């Protein structure tokens, strides 16, 4: 019987003598070989790309196909939704401007680049207040005869419902001459202004709100007045192109002229607040077909929802398989390799791209729910913007999740690899940048707020210096300063110049250096093809020898043989990548 030798390619370099093939099959060493072979097969299958699994194993790439279908259909829906919302916002903006012009006395749109004091929406005297209310009541009464748009009273017979006037004021009095202040609780009073009765009795032309208050036993104390509201409701029809894809939309408009005196600074701010609520339309037209649009929206929403659910299920299964394989790998390395995986090596089994995809699908499903609430159940139109924001977040997260399939190609994955490698250094640098940025925001707001429109608030200050950090509108920071104080002028100069030098030339160069270092490290690793560093990579790429029929004196494989084997693996890798 010939003596046989089994040379195992493990790091421990086990050498054994076995006298028969039957003993080999029954030995514990053969069992270890089989376990190692099975674990290598599982790890190779797990770390295969989608295309490798399809080409080598015939496994159809369901997840990437679902993602491609979802991305295409959702992009089309988002494009249609964006066009619809843009047209709607233009209509709403025009409607708001029209109603401001109709119901507010001496109103003019503010077209200035930077905010300025607009005297048209301020009240400075008591007679001006009553004139504003009289003007709004008269315009409301003459709505049917002077209107241009498709809007009218919120009534079935076309008669104007009464307006509602409410005001809140403190119980007490203020005497500036004696510097005397007596303030009690806040009292609120409301009453109706019967416009239809005034028109019927021909008293509308001579209507005076001041006399109406006295007749109703109400009085306004402008020294203690907090705010007042004059509210009424209208109905409006938005007509677009009157096609099957764009039927008319009907809304109930809750309008309120608000008089704000909370600051008690000698003026009352006047504004018009409009809150639209969508209602059903009674459409009788051969052109507009709301049922067709409803069916189309329902089919697209249902398809997207089903694709999202399918994607969530498949990605969750893949994550579960990753966790299961992680447990098996930890057990294998601990009992058969005599080592443990590091936390970073364990994270390789958790595909965070799947987590990103699942998150995007959940956001899209919630956005669809809000969108259906707006379009089909006729909720308040303010949720229109909420739905657009949620769908936009879902779309951008979906795009980020789809980078998973770009990462299969190393040449296309350079950006992601550089960001991953330099992420921690950039985060540490940004922590210092944000602390210093916050300090500049607060200092600029405290010192320059009274003299500079760009620093009038904390948010405005942060926006201004962030724009300066990008090199935008730096000249405006210097020229918009409105003060004769030399100390404030010098502070603005030093403040702006130091900020630009620190952020553009110091921090900007530092971040570019981090990115450049990460690129050089990745270039050294992937271009020069360094030896893999993680335990799993070494295990998958290491050399395996198993000689059943050899002489006892045959030497173990040398380091030169291992180098040759490693070079062969590199050649095989280049062939696969090419």
In the chain, where are the structural domains located? 51-80+291-408, 117-286, 415-543
pLDDT value at position 166?
A: 93
pLDDT value at position 381?
A: 56
| CB neighbours of residue 307 within 10 Å | 19
Strands 268-279 and 180-193: unpaired
pLDDT value at position 18?
A: 45
Q: What is the mean pLDDT of residues 124-141?
A: 90
Bridge partners, 228 (sequence order): 167, 259
What's the burial of 42, exposed, middle or buried (CB within 10 Å: 0-12/13-18/19+)?
middle
Task: Categorize the per-residue pLDDT at 219 as very low, low, confident or very high, splitting at 50, 70 and 90.
Answer: confident
pLDDT value at position 233?
A: 92
> Which of 31-35, 72-76, 267-271 is the least confident region?
31-35
pLDDT per residue as tens digits for the range 257-313: 999 998 888 889 999 999 888 887 777 766 555 566 677 778 888 899 999 999 999
pLDDT value at position 561?
A: 45
Q: What is the mean pLDDT of residues 229-244?
A: 80
Round to whole Å and give the CA distance between 116 and 107: 15
Round to whole Å and give the CA distance between 248 and 250: 7
Contacts of 421 (CB under 8 A, 6+ apart): 518, 521, 522
Contacts of 416 (CB under 8 A, 6+ apart): 403, 406, 407
Check whether 376 has a pLDDT greater than 50. Answer: yes
Task: Categorize the per-residue pLDDT at 208 as very low, low, confident or very high, splitting at 50, 70 and 90.
Answer: confident
Which one is predicted more confidently, 555 or 258?
258
Which one is predicted more confidently, 521 or 19?
521
Q: What is the mean pLDDT of residues 138-145?
A: 86
Q: Is the dihedral of CA 515, 517, 520, 524 positive or negative?
A: negative
pLDDT per residue as tens digits for the range 99-114: 988 898 888 776 655 5
> Which of 272-276, 315-319, 468-472, 506-510 is the least confident region?
468-472
Round to whole Å and give the CA distance between 221 and 202: 30
Strands 268-279 and 122-123: antiparallel
Q: What is the mean pLDDT of residues 452-472?
A: 83
pLDDT value at position 150?
A: 82
Q: What percent of the chain has pLDDT over 90?
A: 10
Kind plus residue range of the DSSP H or E element containing 414: helix 414-448
pLDDT value at position 529?
A: 55
Which one is predicted more confidently, 303 or 541?
303
Task: Categorize the per-residue pLDDT at 46 as very low, low, confident or very high, splitting at 50, 70 and 90.
Answer: confident
pLDDT per residue as tens digits for the range 417-437: 777 778 888 888 888 888 989
DSSP designation for 525? I
pLDDT per residue as tens digits for the range 349-361: 888 888 888 999 9
Task: Categorize the per-residue pLDDT at 559 as very low, low, confident or very high, splitting at 50, 70 and 90.
Answer: very low
> Which of 22-31, 181-190, 225-234, 312-321 is the least confident region?
22-31
- Residue 567's alpha-carbon distances to 540, 542, 561, in angstroms, are 15, 12, 10
pLDDT value at position 545?
A: 36
pLDDT value at position 39?
A: 79
Q: What percent of the chain has pLDDT over 70?
A: 76
268-306 b/e (C-beta count within 10 Å ≥ 16 → b): bbbebebebebeeeeeeeeebebeebeeebeebbeebbe
Task: Categorize the per-residue pLDDT at 438 as very low, low, confident or very high, splitting at 50, 70 and 90.
Answer: very high
Listing DSSP states for 442-509 in one string gives HHHHHHHTTT-GGGSSHHHHHHHHHHHHTT-SHHHHHHT-----HHHHHHHHHHHHHHHIIIIIIIHH
Q: Is 190 helix (H, G, I), strand (E, B) or coil?
A: strand
């Amino acid at each position: 019987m010939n003596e046989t030798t089994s040379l195992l390619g493990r790091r421990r370099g086990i050498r054994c003598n076995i006298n028969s093939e039957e003993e080999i099959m029954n030995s514990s060493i053969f069992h270890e070989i089989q376990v190692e072979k099975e674990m290598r097969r599982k790890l190779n299958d797990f770390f295969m790309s989608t295309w490798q699994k399809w080409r080598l194993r015939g496994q159809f790439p369901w997840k990437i196909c679902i993602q491609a279908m979802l991305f295409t259909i959702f992009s089309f829906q988002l494009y249609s939704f964006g066009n619809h919302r843009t047209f709607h916002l233009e209509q709403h903006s025009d409607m708001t401007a029209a109603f401001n012009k109709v119901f507010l006395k001496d109103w003019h749109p503010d077209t200035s680049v930077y905010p300025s004091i607009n005297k048209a929406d301020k009240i400075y005297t008591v007679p001006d207040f009553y004139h504003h209310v009289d003007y709004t009541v008269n315009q409301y009464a003459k709505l049917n005869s002077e209107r241009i748009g498709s809007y009218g009273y919120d009534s079935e017979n076309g008669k104007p419902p009464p307006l509602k006037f409410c005001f809140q004021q403190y119980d007490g009095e203020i005497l500036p001459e004696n510097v005397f202040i007596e303030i009690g609780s806040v009292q609120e009073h409301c009453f109706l202004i019967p416009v239809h009765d005034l028109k019927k009795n021909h008293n509308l032309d001579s209507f005076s709100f001041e006399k109406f208050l006295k007749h109703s036993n109400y009085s306004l104390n402008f020294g203690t007045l907090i705010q007042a509201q004059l509210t009424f409701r209208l109905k409006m029809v938005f007509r677009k192109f009157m096609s099957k894809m764009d039927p008319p939309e009907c809304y109930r408009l809750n309008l309120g002229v608000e008089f704000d005196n909370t600051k008690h600074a000698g003026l009352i701010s006047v504004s018009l607040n409009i809150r639209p609520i969508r209602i059903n339309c009674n459409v009788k037209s051969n052109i507009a077909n709301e049922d067709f649009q409803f069916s189309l929206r329902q089919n697209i929403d249902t398809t997207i929802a089903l694709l999202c659910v399918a994607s969530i299920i498949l990605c969750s299964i893949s994550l579960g398989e990753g966790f299961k394989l992680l447990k098996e790998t930890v057990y294998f390395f601990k009992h058969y390799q005599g080592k443990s995986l590091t936390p970073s090596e364990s994270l390789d089994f958790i595909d965070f791209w799947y987590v990103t995809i699942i998150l995007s699908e959940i956001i899209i499903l919630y956005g669809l729910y809000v969108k259906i609430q707006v379009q089909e159940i006729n909720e308040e139109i303010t949720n229109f913007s909420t739905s657009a924001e949620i769908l936009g977040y879902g779309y951008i997260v979906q795009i980020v999740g789809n980078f998973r399939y770009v990462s299969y190609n190393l040449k296309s994955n350079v950006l992601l690899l550089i960001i991953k490698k330099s992420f921690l250094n950039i985060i540490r640098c940004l922590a210092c940048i944000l602390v210093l940025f916050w300090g500049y925001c607060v200092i600029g707001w405290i010192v320059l707020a009274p003299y500079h429109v760009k620093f009038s608030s904390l948010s405005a200050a942060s926006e201004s210096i962030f724009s300066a950090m990008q090199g935008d509108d730096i000249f405006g920071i210097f020229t918009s300063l409105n003060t004769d104080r030399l100390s404030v002028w010098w502070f603005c100069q030093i403040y702006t110049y130091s900020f630009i030098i620190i952020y553009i030339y110091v921090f900007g160069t530092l971040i570019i250096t981090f990115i450049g270092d990460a690129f050089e490290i990745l270039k050294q690793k992937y271009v020069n093809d360094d030896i893999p560093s993680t335990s799993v990579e070494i295990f998958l790429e290491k050399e395996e020898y198993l000689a059943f029929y050899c002489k006892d004196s045959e030497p173990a494989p040398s380091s030169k043989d291992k180098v040759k084997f490693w070079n062969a693996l590199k050649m095989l890798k280049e062939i696969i990548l090419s």
